[in-house]
Amino acid sequence: MELSDLYSQKILDLAGNAVQPGRLAHADASARKVSRVCGSVIEVDVVVRDGMIAEYGHEISACALGQTSAAVVAREVIGTPIGEFRSLRDSMHAMLKDNGAPPTGKWSDLAYLEPVREYRARHMSTLLVFDAVVEALEKIESLESVTVKS
């Protein structure tokens, strides 16, 4: 498979027609992730209410693969329980690194990224959004545990 084969029409459509949510002014937490391999960068903001992601924003400078991941997340993440998002991140890592099955349900468009599995150098940019959101969620949980102890 040629590297150019990775960029299917569906991936180009998802990346090219993605809504850019922008940053949130009053996020509960934010996280920034950078791919050292290709220079892709994403900054995410999340607001959590009652164990669910209630608001989401991001700013991204990435290849089409990173943009596709971020586009699907931006489209589907509101209303997602924290545990479900963590499972999604784990599924994406497993899909690319361990021949795992692609996500299903509202996340099924992420299956278009399955061919990335063959290109280790592209894994990080594809996974940036998932790792950034989970890092932001961990910051929120850390703050909540400090608040509860005080």
Averaged pLDDT, 107-119: 95
Position 3 scores a pLDDT of 57
- Spatial CA neighbour of 26 closest among 67, 52, 54: 54
Token pair 């027609």 is found at 17
pLDDT at 61 over 70: yes
* CATH class held by domain 3-145: alpha beta
Give the Cα separation of 18 and 140 in Å (integer): 27
Sign (positive or negative) of CA dihedral 62, 90, 107, 78: negative
Q: Which of 5-19, 40-54, 136-150 has the lowest mean pLDDT?
A: 136-150
Q: Single out the residue of 33, 25, 28 nearest to residue 49, CA to CA.
A: 28
Domain ranges of the chain: 3-145
Confidence band (pLDDT; 50, 70, 90) for 143? confident
